[in-house]
Each structure stands twice: as structure tokens, then as C-alpha cells.
A and B are shown apart, each in its own frame.
Chain A
């Protein structure tokens, strides 16, 4: 069945879009990542113009994250206090990120910066997660190996503005989650993603939050980031395609429900190893795109429709 997208100004197959939404929603439900880093390339592949793809997907991620958060909330797996601090940092970061985006665009190299950001962050995070989670998996198999101390004392704990996060069972400085939120906000604005794939490892490894709570809290934070992106894109570029977003979220919310059920059944280390492989896979793909000779050296951008 074909449908015309009024903002993208093209006709697409309804079931292709529903399928893409479902797939990404499923991943989002399992891992708590928005899935933007997977959906963007897929939408571009079927010919959606990049600005419309990024903006409309942000809109659908709002819906997918809401249904995900509600599911996690019911299991008491959302740390709202932590989420609020992350969002505060995220807002500051994304404002700076939007400004930085403008500067890079003026230099004409925004595409390259986006690609390099992806490769760098996905590679580093995916690699670290893979190493850590496979160690954890091995530890799980052979309990004789020494366990790491649960509450290691790091330099991070010497910082001021200490705050108690009951749900996460943490007593840490609020500056750390604020800084994480800010960094993620900057990258979210530049890369056009919710930033879950960065947020989750940061919460696990830097803050030491329990994996079960990390997913729900990340989704909670993503709602606000993607809502902000939707709004900014709508007023600046008019690139939010309501029809595309609706189809994506129709598939996405269904996918997310199944995803979060499966996610709840998997152990933390298994969850992390799967996410690590996924992140590394996307990283590898983007790296190959940068290195191999492009099919067409030229690319066309319509300045005014």
C-alpha cells in the first residue's frame, strides 16, 4: 500500500515504514536506546531527505520512549531524580550543540563531523562495552573469579553538590550526571539522535547505576531530548513529517512493547553484550562508508523547495 508523505514530498510503501518503526521500537524496548543511530541510515536508504528523516524520527521517538518509560516505571525501574539532573545538563548541552552545528555547517563539513562522531563514539563505546560485558559474562559462568567491589571510590566521588539518588542506590555529586547530560546533549544536537547509546554506558560505567534502572531512566531522558528536537526542527526547518512520524510510531510502539518484555527477561550482562555488538556493527558500517569509494562522488542538496 502506497502513501504520500506531505512534508517529505514522496510516496512510500506503508508496510516498509511500519516495519522499520517496529524494528527500531523493538531494539529501543530491549536496550533503552532510542534507536536513532540505526533508523537514520535506514530512512536515508529508502530515499527520505536527511532533514525530514532526522526531524520526523525524533517525533516518533517521543512516542516510543513514553510507552517504554511507562512499562519500566511500573517495575519501578526509572530514577526520576537522576533523569531530571540529566535533562538539565542535556538542555544546556543541546543549546551549545545547536550553535556548534551552525558553525560546522558554515564550514561545510557537518556531514564529515557527524560521520566521524558516529564512528568514534560508537566504536569506543561498543568496544568498551563488549570487553566489559564479556568479562562479566565469563565471571557469571565461573564464580571463582574475583568480583569487582561494588562501591569503588573514585575521584568522581570527591566532587561537591552531593545528592542522594534513592532508586539508583547512589550518593554522588550532581555535577557528574549533569556533565554527562550536557555532553550527550551536544552530541544529540549534532548527530540528531536521542543519545541513549551514549547515555546508557555513561550511566553504567561512570555513575555505577544498576543496569535495570539505567534503561528506564535513559528512556525518560530521551523523551525530553527528542521532544526538544521535534520542536526546534518544526519551527526552524518545517521538516517534521507528521504522516511519516505516525507510521513509524505505530510500528515503533508495538515493537517497543515486545522489546521491553524481552529486555526484562535478559540479564544485564547479556543485554550489554548484545547492545555492544549492535553498536559495533553500525560503527563498522559507517567506517566502511567513509573509507570505500562512494558509488557517486556527487551529492545533491535542494536549497529551496
Chain B
């Protein structure tokens, strides 16, 4: 009986302890649960992506390069990626016929345009991204912001040059609008193979990755890529730019020597 009382008392004490323990646990975990619940939304929009290589080396035998971009999304959606190369300034000229001869008549300069532009997507861009957003994020050649240096030109006139600029860049293989494919492996993993041609301009590149749902951007991420000259080619380029006069002299001396060498090989007997 005494034992029973004792036991009951113990139980009573124990139950308090258990209740306290559970309460403490609860208090401890509430913020955690809240934060998990909170982060649920963010998790759904999470997007991670990386490149197989962040540096493309242009060496003597460079014939272009392939880089694989891979990534994962937490939620379900479509992926668009936009690659842009370092900015350049270009002048576009148009020929006209004067007295039977074709000569350059008009010209428009374009400031700070991307030297390289490439879009890849998991679905046709039209179907997965709203027009306004394409405008905002410059997705697709039609939405690429190419501004004439001169401000007060006739917009229709500039538009013709803009179209020609895109055509010429496409011909050079430096502009690609919506050509690339992004493929999903299951629902969350994606990959895309980026092709850079041999005439790709060296410099700092940026790759923007957009996760889209119902036409809206739910998440975005950026990853850098550097394309640089390496080895002998890079040394020659450096030399030519930093010690121009010396480079010129060396080029002449080497040419004189080469000419003399060729002569002494071919005409030794004569």
C-alpha cells in the first residue's frame, strides 16, 4: 500500500516531468517548425546550378569548347538560361549605289552590346515566359537591348541596322536565340550543353539561369564563366599589346632571319 502510494506519487511526479519535458521540447521546436514552414516557400523556389568548368582556355589548338551546365530545382518548373559575353562597341555600315558603284553610305554605331549571346530553354521560350519579363531580362534576340550610340536617330532607321547587326552576329556564330536545349532528368535535375565556337571573344561571361512557373520567374541564379587565352598565344598577345614597338621590331627581325634561312637552305649550291 505504501508502495502503491509511493508509486502513484512517483507517477504523479513523473508525469509532471514528462509534461515538462514535452513542453520544453515543444518550445524548443516551435521556432524550428515555423522556420521549416516558412522556408517551405523558399525551398520550392530554390535553384542551384553550376558549370562543368568555369574557365575555358584558348590554347594553340583551340577549336571551340563545350561546357556542361547542370543544376537542380526544388519545385517543378521550366528553365531558361542566357549566356552573355563581354561588351563591345561596333559600327555597322550600309552600302548604297551611287553612279553604279556600291559604297558605304550610312552607318550606325552601337554601344556596349554583348559580344556573345546565347539562349537555351527546356520549352519554347514563348510558352514559358511572359513577354514583359522577356523584355526585362532580355531573353531572346528580339528582346536584346542593342542601343545606338547616337540618341536622336529615326527609330525605324536604327531598327533596320539592329536587325542587320543580329543577322551578322548570327552568321559569325556569336548570337544564338533560343537554339539551345535544356533537358530535365526527372523533375528536378536539369542539364544543358553550351557550345562556344572557335572565334568566341575572350573575356568575362555571365550565365543567368531562370526558373519559371506559369510564365513567371520564381527563382534566378547567376554563374560566371571566364574565357581566356593561355599558353604561347596568350604570351604573344600580351607582348604585342604591352611592348608594341619591341614586338614590331622582333617581328621584322624574325622575318629577315626567316628569309635568309630559306635562302641559305634553297640556294646553298648556287
Contact = CB atoms under 8 A, between A and B. Distances in A.
Interface of A: 2-7, 9-11, 59-60, 62-68, 70-71, 74, 108-109, 111-112, 223, 227, 230-235, 238, 240, 242-243, 245-246, 249-250, 253-254, 256-257, 290-294, 296-305
A304 B260 CA distance: 37
A231 B248 contact: yes
B237 A67 contact: no
A3 B107 CA distance: 34
B244 A62 contact: no
Interface residues of B, number: 61
Of the candidates B88, B93, B248, B261, the one having the most CB atoms from chain A within 10 angstroms of its own CB is B248
Nearest to A66: B259
Contact of A240 (B59, B102, B251, B259): B251
A227 B259 contact: no
B242 to A, nearest CB: 9
A112 B248 contact: no
Contacts of B95: 294, 297-299
Contact of A298 (B60, B168, B240, B241): B168
A233 B240 CA distance: 11
Interface of B: 58-64, 88-96, 100-104, 107, 109, 115, 161, 164-165, 167-169, 198-199, 201-202, 229, 232-234, 236-237, 240-241, 244-245, 247-249, 251-252, 254-256, 258-263, 266-267, 270
B62 A11 contact: yes
A6 to B, nearest CB: 4
A304 B241 CA distance: 14
A93 B60 CA distance: 39
Given A67-B259, A242-B240, A257-B266, A299 B93 contact: yes
B263 A70 contact: yes
15 contacts: A2-B62, A3-B61, A4-B59, A7-B237, A9-B202, A11-B64, A66-B259, A67-B258, A70-B260, A108-B104, A227-B252, A234-B245, A297-B164, A302-B88, A303-B90
